Amino acid sequence: MRAVMRQNFEKGNLLRDQYAETMYELMGEDSRIILMEADMIACDNTGKIFRDYPERAIECGIQEANMIGVAAGMSSVGLIPFCHSFGPFVTRRVADQVCISAAYAGLNVKIIGSDPGITAQANGGTHMPFEDGAMMRSISGVTVLEPSCPVQYDWMLREMVKEYGVFYVRMERKANIKIYEDGSDFEIGKGVQLTEGSDVTIFATGAHCLLESFEAVKALKGDGISARLVDMFSWKPIDEELIAKCAAETGCFVTVENHNVMGGFGSAVAEVAVRHCPVPMEFVGVEDRFGQVGTKAYLAEQYGLTAKDIVDAARKAVLRKHD
Amino acid sequence: MSSVAEIRVFAEQIRLETIKEIATYGVGHIGGSMSVVELMAVLYGSELRHDPTNPSWEDRDRFVMSKGHAGPVVYATLALRGYFPLEELSTLNQNGTRLPSHCDRLKTPGIDMTAGSLGQGASAAAGMAYAGKILGKEFYTYTVLGDGESNEGQVWELALFAPHHKLSRLIAFTDYNKQQLDGATKDILDLGDMGAKYEAFGWHTQVVDGHDIEALLSAIREAKADERPSMIILNTIKGNGFKFAEERFPNHSLSFNMDGIADSLEIVEKRLADAKAKLEEEKGGIN
């Protein structure tokens, strides 16, 4: 079944619980799958996997560099390791290990980074990656994904087992809104158009940005602006075809990302647009700042990641179209 | 090949071919290639279970040159064992080559892991050993760390990891040649008593003369007999057996070509001839 949006969103598994549930199932089906943690079992509820699959669930301790290296070596023997820690520690801390031991070596390592951007909340600036996606995206051959809902995440994990290569996933642990119908099917490198719209396309990614974007679409409708919303969960590869189509049909873009606007998701869309279908474009995202402690709502205000910021950006993009 | 005399001949062949290989390009990591010549000969001449006609044989022993800049000595060894033609050694670092300065598993037949960013290869070797354990395979994983490389924090992450996870089929070596790029390891970042360090981390630890073939063979035997992961610290001389390099300090990477090394080469050739003579003598004795 292709991806179908629910009429009414409802609560489902937290993404971290979805991770534990899907991985448990996958590890039961496929003895090549390895689950690795860097002292983070309690943070993504994978304890049951450690209990029932002790040989293939590996507690590495707080040593992310060695974890990535060990995973790379395991994959060279045919296993499929999934490595998890907080986003900054499995990306910027180990950028070279991911680049050389995993990607450059042509190996098969799956990396899950918890709590992208402002969703790190009270863990604050040290744990709040605004640059992880840009770093991973710029490493040749690495696939970068950001799931927005438990249904999509379940599909994604299964797909990652099937597809060889290095993957990085931005997982908002506490996101739990089911946007898609159960059994929805996606494709890596293909976005999903969620609303019709002809005046502007809003490309968003991840639970926070997508849910704020839905609010923005409603508000814009009240203003007489017909906004198209696209879930671009696949940052890399990115859906060039859909970007070109949206440029032709709506004439301007807004990108929404819980990440620095430099080098991240907006940049990925812009790289395609500038080359193939230049249109006025506005970026909603973090304007080259560090993180801080706070609730998600407070941080969204602080960094300009609210529905209102998206509405403002969309209005601006539409105005520029008519300049 | 398994007698000490045969391994000694193989070692001198590796030494000679590695020198020629680097001289053809004109510059390269000669010092740390020469210091592990005897180890390479022992592994590929005797200890390693491998098949040059089937480099991806799944039950083969794995070998990871974690100090990936010693690629040239690995290539000479692999070529002499028939993984690819000996003539290919002259393509080292040439445009489009299969033999890049640092080891690359995607390019060179017989290379099990990409390395060169220091501290990383040994973690991958541990992953191979771990995978072997999970899959119930009997293969051993051998890895060679540099002493300079051991400045890297990741090496000590692995030092904690391997004994904790009981990676009994991981056999690691540290090429303790006492030099790194900028000079003496003692002056740059003193490694102190490496044997005591690994011992304290819970490894089966041995310290041996890295140029003594019999000592290497016996150390590997002992490593296999122990249930812990093994670290064999090799006391070595950087540039060993190649006078041109031995006379220079530091000799991490040197520029030279065939014209400038005639006298040093003569010594290497003599070492090879002597080793061959000794082998003949032994064979004669047996006959």
Measured between CA atoms, how close is A70 to chain B, in angstroms? 4
Same CATH topology for A12-180 and A192-315? Answer: yes
CATH number of A192-315, picked from 1.10.274.10, 3.30.2350.10, 3.40.50.920, 3.40.50.150: 3.40.50.920
Give residue limits of the domains in chain A: 12-180, 192-315
Q: What whole-number distance in Å separates Cα of residue A277 and Cα of residue A16?
A: 38
Q: Is this structure's pTM higher than 0.95?
A: yes
**Residue recorded with tokens 């100090």:** B67
- The radius of gyration of chain A from alpha carbons, rounded to an integer in Å, stands at 19
Nearest residue to B36 via CA among B140, B117, B145: B145
CA distances A210 to A217, A221, A231, Å, are 10, 16, 7
Give per-residue pLDDT as tens, B13-55.
Answer: 999 999 999 999 999 999 999 999 999 999 999 999 999 999 9
CB contact under 8 A, A68 and B113: no
Measured between CA atoms, how close is B39 to chain A, in angstroms? 22
CA torsion sign for A308, A309, A312, A317 is: negative
Percentage of chain B surpassing pLDDT 70? 99
CB contact under 8 A, A72 and B127: yes
CB contact under 8 A, B123 and A101: yes
Out of A56, A69, A106, the one facing B123 most closely (by C-beta) is A69
Q: Which amino acid is at A218?
A: K
pLDDT in tens, chain B (287 residues): 579 999 999 999 999 999 999 999 999 999 999 999 999 999 999 999 999 999 999 999 999 999 999 999 999 999 999 999 999 999 999 999 999 999 999 999 999 999 999 999 999 999 999 999 999 999 999 999 999 999 999 999 999 999 999 999 999 999 999 999 999 999 999 999 999 999 999 999 999 999 999 999 999 999 999 999 999 999 999 999 999 999 999 999 999 999 999 999 999 999 999 999 999 999 886 55
Closest residue in chain A to residue B153, using alpha carbons only? A65
Measured between CA atoms, how close is A140 to chain B, in angstroms? 15
All domains of chain B in start order, with CATH: 4-282 (3.40.50.970)
Q: Give, in degrees to the nearest 5, the angle at Cα A261 between A259 and A263.
A: 95
Give per-residue pLDDT as tens, A117-163.
Answer: 999 999 999 999 999 999 999 999 999 999 999 999 999 999 999 99
Q: Does the ipTM surpass 0.90?
A: yes
CA distances B183 to A282, B199, B273, Å, are 53, 27, 33
CB contact under 8 A, A79 and B131: yes
Give the DSSP letter string of A124-181.
Answer: -GGG--SSHHHHHHTSTT-EEE---SHHHHHHHHHHHHHS-S-EEEEE-TT--EEEE-
Q: What whole-number distance in Å separates Cα of residue A131 and Cα of residue A92?
A: 8
Nearest residue to A274 via CA among A304, A232, A240: A240
What is A12-180's CATH superfamily? Thiamin diphosphate (ThDP)-binding fold, Pyr/PP domains (3.40.50.970)
**Residue recorded with tokens 């000669």:** B30
Q: What whole-number distance in Å separates Cα of residue A69 and Cα of residue A99?
A: 11
